[in-house]
Structure 1
Amino acid sequence: MKDSAVAPTRVDGYAELRDYAVIGDGRSVALIACDGAVDWLSWPDLDSPTLFAAVLDQARGGRFDLRPKVPYTAARRYLPGTNVLETTFTTASGTVRVTDALTLSDTASLTPGRELVRRIEGLAGSVPMGWSVQPRFTYGAHAPHLTRRAGVPVATYGAEAVAICAWHAGQPQCTTDSVTARFRTEVGTRALIALPYAYQEPLVLPTHAECEARLDHTAAAWRQWSDERTYTGPWREAVLRSALALKLLVFAPSGAVAAAATCSLPEELGGERNWDYRFSWIRDSAFTLDAFLKLGCAPEATSYLWWLMHASQLTHPRLHVLYRLSGGTRAPERTLPLSGYRGSSPVRVGNAAAGQLQLDTYGELLQTAWLYTTAGHRLDADVARRLAEIADFICTTWRQLDAGIWEVRSAPEHFTQSKMMCWITLDRALDLAVRQLIPARHADRWHEERQAVADFVETRCFSERMNSYVRSAGSDDVDASLLLGLLHGYRPSDDRRMSGTVSAVEKTLRQGPYVNRYLGPDGLSGSEGAFLACSFWLAEALARCGRTEEAVSLMDQLVALGNDVGLYGEEIDPASGAFLGNLPQGLTHLALISAACAIGEAAR
């Protein structure tokens, strides 16, 4: 990670997406720009409407500004092994350090339901500081009602309430819709600003000492979690940061893992590819469970698997593409009256992909359960029965057209990766049945249909001319998702067709370290950046094919593409290096962890 100081800039009020760091508490997440502004915070939960959403509309979204009132440079880092952010502002007259966290309860006293704490310390000289809290509830739709309680400004709307508590940080002044103050740091001074929040419950006003103690406790709790991680292979710092980023996307009340912390950040500036990723996708499940197991996160792995089985129970045997973090299935897509990040509209919440058929999800779920059992865990009788019934379902469903892993909004097709994952569904079911972990009463049919799927893929989804599997049956296009056929075990790494596919992806979709998902139309206007998970998939595929030196070289380049605190978005613009899409993107960090583990194993 980089620690060089920069002079933060904004374009039309917007920070570069690369300039954001993230903090969280296992329930909600905030984005903080390198200039100290909290531009995104959803409360009470990660998938709730926002209190701050300036990243989607700098005029109406709301934010929490905190920065020097004179020119400055900023350098930042996470406290080692934590999700506590430290930003150091340097001015001509002095230096100040800001430490940010969404605090974890120490359970020693009555605590707020949610709490953002910002500690400001004078390190050198004297620095004039200013701050402004502009709450805008429900994605900026509602300005707050501001009152004072025991002298503390409190912003309310409906069942929500947030207090703005300040100690040694100036005298807060209330306007009609914001709270502001100015103060000056000197060497050795320490100020604190806390935003305790409550939803449908009493608002607890904390003391200064309680907030200080919780901030310290939060850092210590994150360090303890990091110290328990077992990974010792290459790129350890990047892997640990990815693990911490992934942990922020784990919704602690249920065990679900969100795809990303934000919604509607654009895959193309000014374009329409703006989606809500604050849901849990079945497609990510195998990578997620594998990462948990490889990092020594057994409790998270168990919680996640049982959440998957609980969420999918209501729709059994059919799987939804995505589920709410609470396990619900309703995610109606709608647009918000916001201008969008740098004019990128529409701004969407909810996700219409929830209603699509994506056959690959069945393979991901069976692969997840298979990985769980190969790590020595058992399945209960009900889960075992349901997994067998999912295999039965795929026997009757795999021939259908689907929307594929990329959730195209054009006509469904026979996507090759979807068929490969149907093969994985039946193959893993057969293995579980052989080991007597699921009922085997229909194993003969699973075997027959597994062969039928393979016959379809090998005869209709492979191009002899290109020596590669193709995007869909009968097409001449290459798709980076075909790499998952290798990573999940559809064919072994020494298979001629699979190694040819790796080479074709390189030749067709790779530009330097960047790999596109695919080329050609997909039912949407505009274009997108390079999809970072695909680049990490390629690095892992190279390692599995014995091309270890090439894999190491690509991995080194990819690790260097993270931002200054080691985070990744969904995509990168190869021309400018700008982040695109929602962030932090769970699949990107999962792919980094998987690639690092695979390359380390290949090198050994």
Structure 2
Amino acid sequence: MGRDGGISWLCVPRFDSPPVFCGLLDHERGGVLRIAPTAPAHTRQYYLDDTGVLVTEFETDTGVLSVTDAFVLADGADLSGAPAGRGELVRALQVPHGDLEVELVLSARGQVDVARSAGGLRINSSACPDVTLQVGASAPLAGTRTTWRLRTGDRVYVWLRWKDQQHSLNLDLDQGGPSNAAEAAERLASTIGDWQRWSERIRYDGPQPELVRRSAITLKMLDYAEDGAIVAAPTSSLPEEIGGERNWDYRFTWIRDAAFSVYALRQLGLGAEADHFLSWVLDMVDREGEPRVLYDLDGGQPSRERIDAELAGYRGSNPVRWGNAAADQTQHDVYGEILDCAHQRVSNGYGLDPGLWQWLARLANLARERWQQPDHGIWEVRSAARPFTYSVAMCQVALERAARIADQLDLPGDRAGWEREATAIRRAILEQAWDPKQEAITEQLGSPEDGASSALDASVLALPLRQVISGAHPAMVSTTRAVVDRLGAGDGLLYRYLVDDSPDGLAGHEGAFLLCSFWLADNWTRQGRIDEAGQLYESLCARANPLGLLPEQIDPTTGAFLGNFPQAFSHVGVITSGLNLAEALRKDRAETEA
């Protein structure tokens, strides 16, 4: 919800459903559910401690209005695993003191039909033909624009429910919703308690503890509880450059996010979430002969990318896109991402079904066959494919993890051959991606004499994190220095690559990519530059908004947020870099005391 009291982005019943409100992408035509004082107000927002429940406070000349928003959980919900949502949003209005006029405004995209029902207002929109909305309240609703006079101590509850014809055929919107203020208040209180009980499981003792906890909660809020899938971001088409075309739909699950997210959650003590997500990943990839780059929340092919010509775009940035064409790309890093997930599972005491292991072993063999072939890389460029270093490195991870799994569980497979090929790939990276002039590992294998690019790419900073090359290796130390010199955007920010050096098939430019800066902090930590890593980490965390949320990218000139928001990868960076720093600081203290 925005500080103006408006819900201007809402996709129900799933993250990847068409938005019923998308005023975020078009203020005039997108639709909104807004509750706010009619008089000018100063506002502030905060989450209730250790919850996903948001509070917005409005202070006018005549009083204060507090609006508490929550997606309501089922009674006694276990957030760690099973589906917990009711399909209901509650908005609780309270006036601590004063006398205010408060207005509710409801609009939706497309042609809208509004009818009264036993539960309130029934809304159908041509833009979301499969979804029916119902708005109810504990105070009289005059229609899609309602004004209430509220005074000290007054409370009003507004609830929004939805029925999806494809997934909720038996849901009766007039039954099961709160029937009065007391019932709505009880559901809100129960949801707050469920969140706080879940948050008690977070285990962390390191820098920025409040932001790390908020990042864990944010990842949980990006978790599709029905099956454990985690979306990259809950939004679409928030631009990487204001006015530019770099606008993408991130409401899907990327396999590469799996290993990063699972590692972060497990290290915080959230093993159930990690196992739930791992099970989803392995179930999805076990269905098919070839793994996809990304999946919809059911584990299927995402909708084809299309341009929505009706919406103006965020601050005029168009096109607005639904779906993501990266689903059809070739990205060889997926082999390593999947096998790394499987290895994490095995390392935590789980076995593997023989059929699944046969399939995983086949992935290792595909990595062995294809690591030298071009692909579109971690950044999903829309230019010609090339043998990207990160993709090659993740093929090394696939082979190394397959050998480890086979050894740990005594499973059949070419263990020795996988180990030999993993060693050969590591050598190839150090030799064929190395540019002696820059003293750095570059974005791809091959020499400039053969037409290969010698451009730098911040994704190589992830190689130590995936145990491909030690962070203290001289090649990584000099590469880290070169990346900062060439890709540095100031104040510890990094571009992931420079479009002028490494064309990606798109017009314009983009902001600094936050995850890359967290990777830089991780490399400095591994290189013993702990003070510098700590200072960088603190500066990155300071860029979070007042709610503790981070975007995909930052405009280095203004500090403004760019890209989809909030971004799972950025919050994974908060968690993992904090954990790495905490461990390094503990070791440093132990050595000093010894």
How far residue 463 of structure 1 moved from its aligned partner, in angstroms, is: 1.3
Residues 430, 475 of structure 2: 8 Å contact kept: no
Q: Which amino acid aligns with 2:138?
A: W
The 1:418–1:598 alpha-carbon spacing in structure 2 relative to 1, beyond 3 Å, is same
Rate the CA distance shift 1:220–1:422 in 2: closer, same or farther, 3 A. Answer: same
Distance 1:266 1:112 in 2: 30
TM-aligned CA deviation for residue 148 of structure 1: 0.8
Question: How far is 1:379 from its partner?
Answer: 2.6
Amino acid of the structure 2 residue aligned with 1:296: G
- For 1:392, which of 342, 346, 365 is the aligned residue? 365
Tell me whether 1:50 sits opposite 2:9 in the alignment.
no
Tell me whether 1:202 sits opposite 2:167 in the alignment.
Answer: no
Structure-2 residue corresponding to 1:185: 150
Identity %: 39
What one-letter code is carried by the residue in structure 2 that aligns with 1:183?
W
**What letter corresponds to residue 210 of structure 1 in structure 2?**
E
Distance change (3 Å), C-alpha of 1:33 and 1:547:
same
5 Å matches for 1:593-604? Answer: 593-604=575-586
How far is 1:228 from its partner? Answer: 1.2
* Matched residue, 1:466: 438
After superposing the two structures, state which structure 1 stretch, 62-71 or 378-387, moved more.
378-387
For 1:308, the equivalent position in structure 2 comes to: 281
Instruction: Report the counterpart of residue 592 of structure 2 in structure 1.
Output: none
Task: Show the 5 A alignment for 1:461-500.
Answer: 461-473=433-445, 474=447, 475-500=453-478
Residue deviations 1:338-370, cap 9 Å, x none? Answer: 111111111111100001111112111112222
SS of corresponding position for 1:164: strand
Partner of 1:535: 517
Q: Which residue of 2 aligns with 1:324?
A: 296
- Are 2:208 and 2:578, in contact at CA under 8 Å, matched by a contact in 1? yes
Contact (CA 8 Å) 1:385, 1:438: kept in 2 or not?
A: no
- 2:415 corresponds to which letter in structure 1? A
Alignment partner for residue 503 of structure 1, among 475, 481, 488? 481
Distance apart, 1:437 and its partner CA = 5.2
Q: Which amino acid aligns with 1:469?
A: I
- 1:13 corresponds to which residue? none
Alignment match, 1:102: 71
Distance 2:88 2:512 in 1: 36
Asked if 1:334 corresponds to 2:306, the answer is yes
Query: Structure 2: how far apart are the matches of 1:206 and 1:156?
Result: 21
Residue 102 of structure 1 aligns to a residue whose secondary structure is: strand
Q: Distance in 1 between matches of 2:3 and 2:482?
A: 40
For 2:14 and 2:266, the matched residues in 1 are separated by 26
1:166 aligned residue: 137
**Native 8 Å contact 2:351 2:409 kept in 1:** no
Partners of 1:540 and 1:596 within 8 A in 2: no
Alpha-carbon deviation of 1:113?
Answer: 4.9
Q: Distance in 1 between matches of 2:263 and 2:223?
A: 15
Instruction: Give the corresponding residue for 2:124.
Output: 156
Match of 2:209 in 1: 236
The one-letter code matched in structure 2 to 1:145 is D
2:249 paired residue number? 276
1:87, distance to aligned residue in structure 2 (A): 1.1
Counterpart among 422, 427, 433 of residue 455 in structure 1: 427
String of CA shifts for 1:558-594, please: whole Å, max 9, x gaps.
1100001000111111111111111110011011111
Verify: 1:367 aligned to 2:340, yes or no. yes
Does 2:513 align with 1:516?
no
- Give, in whole Å, the separation in 1 of the partners of 2:286 and 2:516: 31
- In the alignment, residue 577 of structure 2 is paired with which amino acid? A
- TM-align CA RMSD: 1.7
Which residue number in structure 2 is paired with residue 248 of structure 1? 221
CA distance in 1 between counterparts of 2:85 and 2:137 reads: 16
- Aligned partners of 1:547 and 1:112: how far apart in 2? 45
Kept in 2: contact 1:86–1:100 (CA 8 A): yes
Report SS of the residue matched to 2:194.
Answer: helix
What is the DSSP-based 3-state SS (H/G/I as helix, E as strand, rest coil) of the residue aligned with 1:477?
A: coil
Question: Contact 1:268–1:527 at 8 Å: present in 2 too?
Answer: yes
Looking at structure 2, the residues matched to 220 and 452 of structure 1 have their Cα atoms a distance apart, in angstroms, of 53
Cross-structure match for 1:14: none
C-alpha distance 592-98 of structure 1, shift in aligned 2 (>3 A): same
Deviations along 1:393-414, one digit per CA (max 9) or x if unpaired, are: 1111112100000000000011
Residue identity matched to 1:265: L
Amino acid at match of 2:296: R
2:366 is paired with a residue whose SS is helix
Give the number of aligned pairs.
Answer: 558
Does residue 418 of structure 2 align to residue 446 of structure 1? yes
Tell me, yes or no, if structure 1 residue 566 matches structure 2 residue 535. Answer: no
With structure 2 as the length reference, what TM-score do the two structures score?
0.91
Q: Which amino acid in structure 2 is aligned with residue 131 of structure 1?
A: L
User: How big is the shift at 1:266?
Assistant: 0.7
Measure, in 1, the Cα distance between the counterparts of 2:265 and 2:376: 28
Distance 2:462 2:527 in 1: 13
The yes-or-no answer on 1:75 pairing with 2:44 is yes
Counterpart code for 1:37: G
> Does 1:41 pair with 2:6?
no
Does the residue aligned with 1:98 lie in a helix, a strand or coil? strand
**Would you say the 8 A contact 1:266–1:274 is kept in 2?**
yes
Say whether the 8 Å CA contact 1:97–1:120 is kept in structure 2.
yes
Contact 2:70–2:91 under 8 Å retained in 1: yes
Q: CA deviation at 1:491?
A: 1.0
Deviates more, 1:296-305 or 1:452-461: 452-461
Q: Distance in 1 between matches of 2:462 and 2:532?
A: 19
The equivalent residue for 2:54 is 85
Show the counterpart of 2:103: 130
Name stretches of at least 5 consecutive residues in structure 1 with no aligned partner: 1-31
Instruction: Quote how far apart the aligned CAs of 1:151 are.
Output: 7.2
User: CA, structure 1 residues 102+151, in 2 after alignment: closer, same or farther (shift >3 Å)?
Assistant: closer
Aligned equivalents of 1:210 and 1:390: distance in 2?
Answer: 52
Shift of 1:315: 2.5
Shift of 1:112: 9.2
Distance in 2, matches of 1:376 and 1:112, equals 30
Q: Match of 2:530, as an amino acid? A: T
Q: SS at the partner of 1:423? A: helix
Deviations 1:54-103 (A, max 9, x none): 00111111101111111110111100000000111111111111101111
Residues 215-245 of structure 1 show CA distances to partners (whole Å, capped at 9, x for unaligned) of 1111111111111111222211011000010
The one-letter code matched in structure 1 to 2:58 is F
Query: Quick one: structure 1 residues 459 and 513, their matched pair in 2 at CA, closer, same or farther if it must change by over 3 Å?
Result: closer
Tell me the SS of whatever aligns to 2:35: strand
